[in-house]
Amino acid sequence: MLFPRNPLKKCFSSLVPSLVPNPLLVFPKIPPLIQTEFVLYEDFITEKEEESLVHELEPILKKIRYESSHWDNAILSYRETEKSRWTPVNQALIERIKKLIFIPTGTVEPLDHVHILDLSKDGEIKPHVDSVRFCGRIIGGLSLLSDSVMRLTCEKNKAEVYDAHLKRRSLYVMKDSFRYDFSHQVLSEKESKFRDNIIKRDRRISIIVRCQPRPEDLVNES
């Protein structure tokens, strides 16, 4: 679900339970750019599927200590890893995400390694735009263990700000302009509000699938 912070600006909500868009949750009208380039699916996985993923990840994450800050200072109180091999049950879940995100485009190649980001209850992700050296024009993030609020801010117009309520077990898909022209952040526990409602935030694990960068993006960044 997405809403701008300023009620006087155009605002919208996008909720896709069971992968079916619900037009009743769109307000007032989704701008074409955002409608196609930031999509949020609620309840993408079940509680049992979430439990299965967490059960596989916990032994790995417990061996990694939380870092106070990221190398580029974009993340606070986190630990991360990458994973390419899963149990058959969980591999099917990962493939379900990739099929939804990448196959319809037909022009991107998914990365084998999946990024796992474990954000502590006290952690936050500061505003940043991901480098195309590490991932291409489409990413998808599955939220485990906790709700959170993602804020999207246009780099060329800082007044254009959208908040997305990333519910536990939801999946967001971000691509193209939202990848390159908007910064994104996950609000800290103290700032975690959505439409003036406090969103209780706890430790959050995100499973992020990515694709290969395009050659032209690598040239433009260099």
3-class secondary structure, 47 = helix
Residue with tokens 């339970």: 17
- Mean pLDDT value of segment 1-7: 54
pLDDT over 70 (residue 15): no
* Cα 8 to Cα 158: distance, rounded to the nearest angstrom: 15
Q: Are 76 and 126 in contact (CB under 8 A)?
A: yes
Nearest Cα residue to 129 out of 177, 182, 70, 173: 182
Dihedral, CA of residue 183, residue 187, residue 193 and residue 199, to nearest 10: 130
- Mean pLDDT value of segment 19-23: 43
Share of the chain above pLDDT 90, in %: 48
pLDDT bucket at 31, cuts 50 / 70 / 90: confident
Q: Which residue has the higher pLDDT, 101 or 57?
A: 57
Dihedral, CA of residue 177, residue 178, residue 184 and residue 187, to nearest 10: 150
Q: Which CATH architecture has domain 45-221?
A: Sandwich (2.60)
**DSSP string of 52-105?**
HHHHHHHHHHTTSPPEEE-TTS-EEEEEEEEE----HHHHHHHHHHHHHHTTTT
pLDDT bucket at 37, cuts 50 / 70 / 90: confident
How far apart, in Å, are the Cα atoms of 79 and each of 70, 124, 130, 205, 209? 9, 12, 17, 10, 17
Q: Which residue has the higher pLDDT, 137 or 115?
A: 115
Nearest Cα residue to 179 out of 125, 218, 206, 140: 140
Residues 6+ positions from 49 with CB-CB distance below 8 Å? 93, 169
pLDDT, position 176 = 87
Domain boundaries, the chain: 45-221
Nearest Cα residue to 53 out of 141, 145, 124: 145
pLDDT bucket at 28, cuts 50 / 70 / 90: very low
Question: According to the per-residue pLDDT averaged within each range, which of 6-20, 28-42, 110-124, 126-140 is highest?
Answer: 110-124
Q: Are 162 and 7 in contact (CB under 8 A)?
A: no
Whole-model pTM? 0.85
* Cα 216 to Cα 95: distance, rounded to the nearest angstrom: 27
Question: According to the per-residue pLDDT averaged within each range, which of 11-20, 28-37, 101-110 is highest?
Answer: 101-110
> What is the radius of gyration, based on Cα positions, of the chain?
17
Pairing state of beta strands 148-154 and 38-41? unpaired
Mean pLDDT of the chain: 82
Q: How do residues 136-193 score in pLDDT, each as one tens digit?
A: 889 999 999 999 999 989 899 898 888 888 999 999 988 888 888 889 999 999 999 8
